[in-house]
Structure 1
């Protein structure tokens, strides 16, 4: 990217703050200079190879000294440009609180909604800007007027935030929660689809499912299951916490009715901002969790009517999507699968390791789970951190006894080499 193009990008990433300036202009000039400096290496350099580019991407993230962070599936980090843009919004808000909380940023909020909608190839009238995946699952589970005897399918690998809302809001009414068992290492999409097909009955009203399960990183075939569900008059709700931002997602193509995601994982947005999608034809099923002035709004915005909320973080989501787009969704998708393949190839012939994530690209991506044979996973996790500064997540459910490794865009092949060396030593 040439200097002129970079300056244009930096101006766009801080447009919300600059357009509604309430602090001295010199402060924003300083912010722009910092942003330009942080992007100079990434976009103004001619790289000799692809890995050099990704090394530069890594430099846009700042972690604690000595930390090798392979735990993005738990919580992501915001890149320096996203942090700086969010902080500039925060300073603007604190400079004139009442103006920017209630109306001063309406255009910027809608611009962020449009950026998110475009990222998922849907209409901005199908996107609500919420807090996290948990809120979205509660919104869905509480909305339905299900009757005793109705059934909701929730596979056994669902996250607690995807099951508890159904238990509290529906199971207590006599609704049956059907919990089919997913295979740990399916060989094909059809094998997974068959699990849901076998669980469907004439009483099934909703299938609630993960796009990627957090236990072993398995991708579930949302498109195939949505098609099956709709043929039987069943709605589909998707927990997209682990997929949004990892690879390209077209929600219309997936076919689900609802999709909720935390943007602070693979989109690297500020913490506490979420994305909620509802297909236009399915929005009439939904009721807001909170009501306030403006509750008569018939658009999807009624689902995010909080009155006072953390708008700098919301606008920071817009900066996050711009950062994602600047690198390129296709490029990020390719990188996610490339790092997965690189890691698996380095350990596949070592009998000390047992990979417990499906191999096929349609069934897994940048989350991989591996057992060190004969080792307790909690002890492995402790050794990795204490001796090598590697942070990851131990997974003990379903007999995994394995560490979960996240290969986000700030992970390089050198980092994976270091990880594998540490695993071999342990």
Structure 2
């Protein structure tokens, strides 16, 4: 009897209840990043469709099997125990999650509040920022997350703030990014609040956050750092960024279930964020009063520790090296091809897994959507069109831990074929 590849992959996924393979001792992260046998073993811990190559992993992350199975158990537990769980053991479980997050990020538990994702965290901080007066200015860049831009625009009516939009250079370099923010801060002396993406979701550019935060702080400007895409993909702690305010997602690069994130406020800055809707569930001295989600599905949060176990077993440095290796493997062969524009720089520290490209002259959303559709239809490679960049639209490519070198080689061959046609 012939067994389909789909059933084989599904069967492997069902068996993959253990964590990732042990990271060999004495092997550098960069060398391990090229070990396809090791990463094939990692890939077997994920249950993914064999019908296409998924290079659109920036939306949210696939849970590894031990996390997915823990999530199913927690959904059942919540359904079985109902409000008894919410009123008894959940509070201690949520505190353990906050302890784990704080430990990984190098901060304290009291500086972290759980949210249903990075967007809720971002909106809570922006809307709650209380140091704005009519006529003050707020700033964001064209590459920042669209929901963050919308919330900053809302401050015009909410707080009477003037909104300034920064256009990022293209193609970007780290120095050009620094120069752009320095000029924007100099030209907007009334600025009080800046939204700053650590890694943006459009091109994957990684900004030198610590230097920009220092630059802004010297001019009396507070910075909200959007680290939704960078944490779990890059190796850093919060002291590395020196941020007073930041937001994170847990269902992107940490592999937790959809609906989990958190926000961070430096302890000394809590008074600069209003309690949300004058919430009285927690005292005003508790950061959790800055978030109010109502009765929510807590199963994702009960599963966060399983996701962190998987993350820590591999290690942030190993994950970062592998994702950069996969990105380099498809970008470098295309860098010098005529008509192919890579929008994300190759400078060390300026990128991770996410990179955007366009074919020269194809700048509209429709053109790039059509290009992404052709990649899927003709080559079974799933990507996504992105807009909002100064030079026009592009296609975003995002490998994951289960992506193989052969998968990204397939993308290179497909793009060469499409470029010629």
Does residue 169 of the first structure (1) align with residue 155 of the second (2)? yes
Q: Which of 103, 111, 117 pairs up with 2:102?
A: 117
**Contact 2:203-2:396 within 8 A present in 1 as well:** yes
Does residue 75 of the first structure (1) align with residue 36 of the second (2)? no
Does residue 381 of the first structure (1) align with residue 360 of the second (2)? no
Quote the RMSD (CA, aligned, Å): 2.5
Structure-2 separation of matches of 1:395 and 1:36: 36
Query: 1:399 and 1:105, CA in 2 relative to 1: closer, same or farther beyond 3 A?
Result: same
Deviation at 1:251, TM superposition (A): 0.9
Query: 1:44 and 1:72, CA in 2 relative to 1: closer, same or farther beyond 3 A?
Result: closer
What is the aligned partner in structure 2 of residue 179 from structure 1? Answer: 165
What is the aligned partner in structure 1 of residue 415 from structure 2? Answer: 423
What is the aligned partner in structure 1 of residue 90 from structure 2? Answer: 105
What is the aligned partner in structure 2 of residue 144 from structure 1? Answer: 129
Q: Which runs of 5+ in 2 are unaligned?
A: 1-12
Does residue 207 of the first structure (1) align with residue 198 of the second (2)? no
How many residue pairs align between the two structures? 392
Structure-2 separation of matches of 1:180 and 1:161: 16
What is the aligned partner in structure 1 of residue 117 from structure 2? Answer: 132
Deviation at 1:335, TM superposition (A): 1.3
**CA displacement, residues 243-282 of structure 1 (integer Å, 9 cap, x when unaligned):** 1211112112201111112221111211111121111121
Deviation at 1:184, TM superposition (A): 1.8
What is the aligned partner in structure 1 of residue 396 from structure 2? Answer: 404
TM-score under structure 1 length normalisation: 0.85
Structure-2 separation of matches of 1:366 and 1:77: 15
Query: 1:142 and 1:401, CA in 2 relative to 1: closer, same or farther beyond 3 A?
Result: closer
What is the aligned partner in structure 2 of residue 14 from structure 1? Answer: none
**Contact 1:211-1:240 within 8 A present in 2 as well:** yes
**CA displacement, residues 230-253 of structure 1 (integer Å, 9 cap, x when unaligned):** 112221101122212111121122
Structure-2 separation of matches of 1:425 and 1:290: 55
What is the aligned partner in structure 2 of residue 341 from structure 1? Answer: 328
What is the aligned partner in structure 2 of residue 13 from structure 1? Answer: none
**Contact 1:354-1:372 within 8 A present in 2 as well:** yes
Range 69-78 or range 172-181, more displaced: 172-181
Structure-2 separation of matches of 1:122 and 1:190: 29
Does residue 281 of the first structure (1) align with residue 268 of the second (2)? yes
Structure-1 separation of matches of 2:110 and 2:393: 43
Q: Which of 300, 304, 309 pairs up with 2:287?
A: 300
**Contact 1:216-1:357 within 8 A present in 2 as well:** yes
Deviation at 1:55, TM superposition (A): 1.1
Deviation at 1:186, TM superposition (A): 2.4
TM-score under structure 2 length normalisation: 0.86
